[in-house]
Structure 1
Amino acid sequence: MSMKQTIFEKLSKEFAPTHLNVIDESELHRGHAGYREGGNSHFRVQIAAAALDGKTRVAQQRAVMDCMAQELKEAIHAFAIEVSPSDKFRP
């Protein structure tokens, strides 16, 4: 399973988001620290989930990073997180 899919599945299971987009930005960092051929090193996550609503920005970021702790420790070099209110993406 790709790291992108792992991130998507773990965050989906943990937060049941109304919106989740996982973007592999590794190619944008070619030649920089942490870049690996083939990607899977630099990610941006855009998430909206009721479980994150009402928390401070720091608490939101911490919750997402706690969920991804193992991957951040072992495989991911950079991980940007953008949190939006869950009702922004409700039909």
Structure 2
Amino acid sequence: MTDQGKGVVKARIAQKLAEGLAPAALNIIDDSHRHAGHGHHHPDGETHFTVEVVSAAFEGKSLIERHRLVNALLSEELADRVHALAISAKTPQEAARA
């Protein structure tokens, strides 16, 4: 996966989360430009992401269980190109209240 074209890592994240969580809403933001010059930054970006996901798969799960689920789905990306991942993981009911 290293040194792939821009947008490939984001697309893989979207695909894995869609397949693993069947989200009602999914927003993936590449925050890499905010970390230029820091460790693990790549010229093409795709090293630092924010993931906002709404899924019924989070029902009955604690915040840490939700984060572990997302991290498990993205384990390959986190082991390679992705250095940082901020996660917002809500159930549809929680998202409706926000």
Q: What TM-score do you get using the length of structure 1 for normalisation?
A: 0.92
Q: Tell me, yes or no, if structure 1 residue 70 matches structure 2 residue 76.
A: yes
Q: Cα offset for 1:63?
A: 0.4
DSSP-derived class of the 1:83 partner = strand
Match of 1:56 among 55, 62, 70: 62
Q: Cα offset for 1:6?
A: 0.5
The CA distance in 2 between the partners of 1:50 and 1:84, in whole Å, is: 8
Structure 1 residue aligned with 2:3: none
Structure 1: unaligned runs, 5 residues or longer? none
Q: Residue type of the partner of 2:92?
A: S
Query: Superposition RMSD on alpha carbons, in Å?
Result: 1.2
What is the count of residue pairs matched by the alignment? 89
Q: Cα offset for 1:34?
A: 1.1
Q: 1:6-61: per-residue Cα shift (whole Å, max 9, x none)?
A: 10010000000001001000001011111110101111100010001220001000
DSSP-derived class of the 1:45 partner = strand
Match of 2:34 among 23, 28, 33: 28
Q: Tell me, yes or no, if structure 1 residue 37 matches structure 2 residue 50.
A: no
DSSP-derived class of the 1:7 partner = helix
Structure 2 residue aligned with 1:4: 10
Q: What TM-score do you get using the length of structure 2 for normalisation?
A: 0.85
